[in-house]
Chain A
Amino acid sequence: MFKELELIVNDRHNHAKQLKVRTNKGIIGYLCSYVPEEIIYAAGFIPVRLFSSEEAASLADTYMQSYYCTFSRCILHQALAGDFNYLDGLVTAYTCVNMRLAFDSIQLYGKIPFSRMIYTPGIIDDPNSKEFYYKELLRFKKDMENLSGRSINNDDLREAIKVYDENRSLVNDIFKDRRNPVPSITGKEAYIITLSGMLTDKQEHNEILKTTSKQITNRAGMKKGVNRLMIVGSPLDNLKLLDIIEDDLDAIVVTDDTCTCTRYILGKTPEENINQDPLKAIVERYLIKRPPCPTKHAQNRWLQCSSCPFRAVSCFLMNPAQKKKLPKSLIFSNPERICRFRHSLQLAINHNVEGVIVLQQKFCDPHGFDYHHVAQSFIDIGIPSIMLEIDNIISVGQIKTRVQAFLEMLQPVNYVIEPEIKEGISLNI
């Protein structure tokens, strides 16, 4: 059913090149999900996210030490090898130091004609940050205008927001079904949907999604009674991992908190801002409405704690007496998604998750420091978890052993007798 989308993911470079020819638009590569794609889209380009590949990042060794994450090193390797030669520009957001070094190195040693680092603030709920980010995005918009040779007005931005919000809404509708006892799509298919969306034109993606979603309802032959898992952690861009979890072993991934799937499509642009000032709406959406990455901080996150349904033992539990005396200047707005842990716990409950796989990309600091609290907060609500350390190259045997052992921990061994041993097996060598 998702063959067309899967092809985009598996043959991404060729797809991008064909897209360029077909639509006659430029392609701007981006590294981080915090990049405000709508602005790039409004300028007439197609934003395409860069991912790692399953090869040794040997060319990156000259510029990036081995203790930077392989996700970033692989991207640098591909850039130096010329795999991204079809890009007309490269943009990233100031989030994670690994991707920053990859971006800087490509800027200096790769041959990409245009590059721009967008300074995304590290504090997401302070009005000061929003004001600063607005000015920064005004500058970025101007850069896009200079690159494209045409101006971007508010209507262009509104149009881009409409396309992107429609995409988010279509994917969300498909994903809603995953809460059911028998989800109509597997975890792998969910990732195919979001990854392909990041690698192609959003309008085309919307059309494919509209057709596909009709075929999904009441889809036959889906697995019943298998373990429901959730994936939390570092970006996942290799579908092989999901093949192991869902095909080789009997389980299904029903939800996740990774920036290559759910974290990318949750968070609609706030309607109230779009008409007045669409750029302000984009600021709101990217800072506050979307689930945060561990590299982003909400100064007032802990203000939510007393009303959080998961007041887990290990969380911030501020002394309520102190909270009353907090100076007004430090009380910022209180949106729902600024606590990453509450968000992922809520997702787990909504989807009846039985076990959590915490993906830890080797050398990923932001997710590495969160791991302790992620594991503890899931234990606090009674959901076991296992940490899987991954690299760009999936070592099938090692992953399979761990995930299989985890599934065996989750439930008793399936006591259904397999067919009898076939007769006539020869034991002679």
Chain B
Amino acid sequence: MITVGIDIGSLSADVVILHFNDSNERGRVLSYSIIPTGFDTEKTAKKALNGALEKTSIDIKDISYIVATGYGRVNIPFANKNISEISCHAKGANYTFNSARTVLDMGGQDCKVITCDETGKVKSFIMNDKCAAGAGRSMEVMAKLVGVPLESVGELSFKIVDKPSNITSTCVLFARSEVMELLRKGVHKNDILAGACDALMNRVLSLMGRSQIETDLVISGGIAKNVGITKRIEEKLGFSVKIPEEPQIIGALGAAIFAKEILCKGKPA
């Protein structure tokens, strides 16, 4: 049995292909692909699926069921079902770490905190998809402003020269001018990055504070690759977090697992 999960996000589209020998098996990931989302959601989905299939020896006819998720999930006519990214992220995190009870997922444009039970079923969720200051976009803006690649933001944010800057603007756009002023005054870019990471961490924690956080906490999405945020969260909360090897595909992974569950428990219509 081969199932596929497609996660069409606002910035990236991910596809995961899972293989199961039988319905009781945990299954294994055959392949996955991550590509940027284009204007045409359906085309993007096909391209991503193509990309994943190319890394395997299987053909589209071998696929038993496709579940789509993410904001573009309704525009994929060849998907059998669409399920919200909240349910899919919980499922995917739970599959990766069976002890997962809270999932923090932060992509470029939104941030979600999801609590789930031992089967990965959602118990509660909080989303912030209205303000870029609480999402990965703010990190991109900061990295560009101080002139470092996004990947090195985390590391540099710990190499503090004097002390972390206090960035008071809540809005990313206003924070830009504040940061430029700091740069003009000669504040070291590491200190600015430390301040930016502190600010983002505080926003994330305040979102998380509205849920009952239970360990283990899994962090997924682009932000999981930023040690500047993940380590700070660990320090603040006082326990270590679990980070998947490939944090961006958790949604698609969960979708593919749902596909299998539907196939195994469903009856012909």
Contacts and interface: CB of A to CB of B under 8 A. Distances in A.
Interface of A: 248, 397-398, 400-402, 404-405, 408-409, 413, 415-419, 421-422, 425-429
A419 B66 CA distance: 11
Contacts of B63: 421
A418 B87 contact: no
A222 to B, nearest CB: 20
B261 interface: yes
Given A405-B87, A413-B262, A427-B60, A421 B78 contact: yes
A418 B81 contact: yes
A219 B37 CA distance: 44
B185 interface: no
Contacts of A404: 83-84
7 shortest A-B CB distances, which residue pairs? A405-B86, A405-B84, A415-B266, A404-B84, A418-B80, A417-B266, A415-B265
Interface residues of B, number: 36
Contacts of A401: 71, 84-86, 127, 129
A81 to B, nearest CB: 27
A405 B258 CA distance: 14
Nearest to A397: B71
B4 to A, nearest CB: 10
A408 B262 contact: no
A408 B122 contact: yes
A415 B125 CA distance: 23
27 contacts: A398-B127, A398-B129, A401-B71, A401-B129, A404-B84, A405-B87, A405-B125, A408-B84, A408-B87, A409-B87, A409-B121, A415-B261, A416-B266, A416-B267, A417-B65, A417-B266, A417-B268, A418-B80, A418-B81, A425-B78, A426-B46, A427-B46, A427-B50, A427-B53, A427-B60, A428-B46, A429-B47
B87 A402 contact: no
B83 A408 contact: yes
A16 to B, nearest CB: 34
A416 B50 CA distance: 27
Contacts of A421: 60, 63, 66, 78, 80
Given A402-B127, A416-B267, A421-B66, A429 B46 contact: yes
Interface of B: 43, 46-47, 49-50, 53, 60, 63, 65-66, 71, 74, 78, 80-81, 83-87, 121-123, 125, 127, 129-130, 258, 261-263, 265-269
Contacts of B60: 421, 425, 427
A359 B53 CA distance: 43
A417 B264 CA distance: 10
Nearest to B130: A398
Contact of B123 (A409, A418, A425, A427): A409
Contacts of B262: 413, 415, 417
B27 to A, nearest CB: 17
Most B CB atoms within 10 A — which of A404, A405, A422? A405
B11 to A, nearest CB: 14
A417 B46 contact: no
A264 to B, nearest CB: 30
Given A405-B125, A415-B266, A425-B60, 10 more contacts: A397-B71, A404-B84, A405-B84, A408-B122, A409-B87, A413-B81, A415-B267, A417-B266, A417-B267, A417-B268
A245 B50 CA distance: 33
Nearest to A362: B130
Contacts of B267: 415-417
A179 B121 CA distance: 29
Nearest to B85: A401
A208 B266 CA distance: 45
A417 to B, nearest CB: 4
B47 A413 contact: no
Contacts of A418: 80-81, 269
Contacts of B85: 401, 405
Contact of B49 (A402, A405, A417, A427): A427
B263 A409 contact: no
A429 B43 contact: yes
Given A415-B266, A416-B267, A405 B122 contact: yes
Contacts of B130: 398
A402 B127 CA distance: 8
A229 to B, nearest CB: 16
Contacts of B53: 427
A415 B258 CA distance: 10
Contacts of B46: 425-429
B258 A413 contact: yes
A401 B80 CA distance: 18
Nearest to B269: A416
A421 B59 CA distance: 13
A401 B71 CA distance: 8
A358 to B, nearest CB: 14
Given A404-B84, A416-B269, A421-B66, A409 B78 contact: no
A392 to B, nearest CB: 15
B171 to A, nearest CB: 13
A199 B24 CA distance: 59
A426 to B, nearest CB: 8
B204 to A, nearest CB: 19
B66 to A, nearest CB: 7
